[in-house]
Amino acid sequence: MSNIATGIGRLWVSGYARSVVTTAKAHADCGTCKGVRNELGAPGGVIYEDRLWHLDHIVRPLPMAGWLILKPKRHVESVAKLTDAESRALGPLITRTAAALERATGVKKVYVGLFGEAKLFAHVHVHLIPRPVELGDDLRGPLIFALMRAESDRVPVSEAERVSAAVRRALARTRRRGG
Ligand SMILES: [Zn+2]
């Protein structure tokens, strides 16, 4: 007869169950979080939103009509820290929004930029800019961001609202492409 000692292992369950999701509400001073909460008065209001992403028009003073901002609802300050789900949704959203902007404005291409450098706007946000068909060399490529330094609206608010509504309709007609 052998006396077999049976060790009973204890299963240590990690206490890592708490949520690591940071809500927009938790960052009261973040300008992008305020945008997610629709507190910045974007012309035309929310253009698109789902569980993870929020799309609206850039706020006043307006650099142009149709300059849109796509941002994760979660406060995150580095693209490297997007979740897999946020990352998977981002590509199709950029493509669909750019297509909707081209239809709504008649432009041939849409600039896409992401910096997160402005004061109080470190929260990741993607600029989608309908590149005007006629655009001087002094505003091409990244130089277009010079328009953000305008101190007053460069276009009527009503025009920004019109483009926002058109993009909203165009996005509602499209379906996320599979694969
Ligand atoms: Zn934020």
pLDDT digits (tens, 9 = 90+) for 80-105: 999 999 999 999 999 999 999 999 99
Calculate how far, in angstroms, residue 30's C-alpha sits from the geometric centre of ligand 1: 5
CA atoms within 13 A on the CB side of 144: 19
Q: What confidence tier does 55 reach under pLDDT thresholds 50, 70, 90? A: very high
Q: What is the pLDDT of residue 20?
A: 38
Distance between CA atoms of residues 158 and 126, nearest Å: 23
CA of 40 to the centre of ligand 1 (A): 13
The H or E element that residue 157 is part of is helix 157-173
Q: What is the pLDDT of residue 41?
A: 95
Centre of ligand 1 to C-alpha 155, Å, is 27
Rounded CA separation 58/79 (Å): 20
Q: Is the pLDDT of residue 14 over 90?
A: no
Q: How far is the CA of 31 from the centre of ligand 1 (A)?
A: 6
Residues facing residue 49 across a β-bridge: 54
Superfamily of domain 28-176: HIT-like (3.30.428.10)
